[in-house]
Amino acid sequence: MSKIPPIRIGLGHDTHRIDKGGPMTLGGITIDCDLHLIGHSDADVLLHAITDAILGAVCLGDIGTLFPNTADENKNRCSREMLQLAYAKVVEAGWKITNLDCVIFATQPKISPYRDAIIQCITETLEMEDENVFVKGKTGENVGPIGRGEAIMAECVALLHKAS
């Protein structure tokens, strides 16, 4: 039987409805726009997707298990704080993040003007280099709740390796 190499891949996904009235927290930064995400926490879909990806990669659960939306302490909780706590569990289990590839599906706001700030926030939070994180935006081309501007969705693929 062959030995499995000490690398893991995780996939994270999250969707939240949007409503009028800003600002919006997305990718750990505040975006000054007339929309906000609806959720129990600050509803940062990108950081939620990243949290699920890194936890799932090393079989440590998911964001809903660690931070249930039925718990009062998670009401309006900062998603960056949740990501930091999840990352600490990943590190404690002996893993490091190699690479994150993320997609935000949103009609508004446009992602490209905020991409660098989002990447910087993620890399600072997860102790990574900028060249190991990428974030791209897709509009949904007027299809479904994303395309109609009713929701924002994010996905993340994470590659992790065993720490030496």
Residue 40 falls inside a structural domain? yes
Residue 2 falls inside a structural domain? no
Q: Which phi and psi angles does 48 have, rounded to 5°?
A: -65, -45
Residue 32 falls inside a structural domain? yes
Give the pLDDT band (50/70/90) at residue 2. Answer: low
Quote the domain boundaries for residue 83: 7-162
| Bridge partners for 96 per DSSP | 161
DSSP letters along 107-120, please?
A: SSS-SGGGHHHHHH
C-alpha to C-alpha distances, 41 to 53, 55, 100, 115, nearest whole angstrom: 18, 18, 23, 22
Q: Whole-angstrom Cα distance, residue 127 to residue 72? A: 29
Residue 143 falls inside a structural domain? yes
Q: Is the dihedral of CA 79, 83, 84, 85 positive or negative?
A: positive
Q: Report residue 129 as tokens.
A: 């280099």
Residue 63 falls inside a structural domain? yes
- Count of domains in the chain? 1
Residue 1 falls inside a structural domain? no
What's the pLDDT tens digit per position in 24-42? 999 999 999 999 999 988 9
Residue 144 falls inside a structural domain? yes
What's the pLDDT tens digit per position in 60-99? 999 999 998 888 888 888 999 999 999 999 999 999 999 9
Q: Whole-angstrom Cα distance, residue 73 to residue 82? A: 11
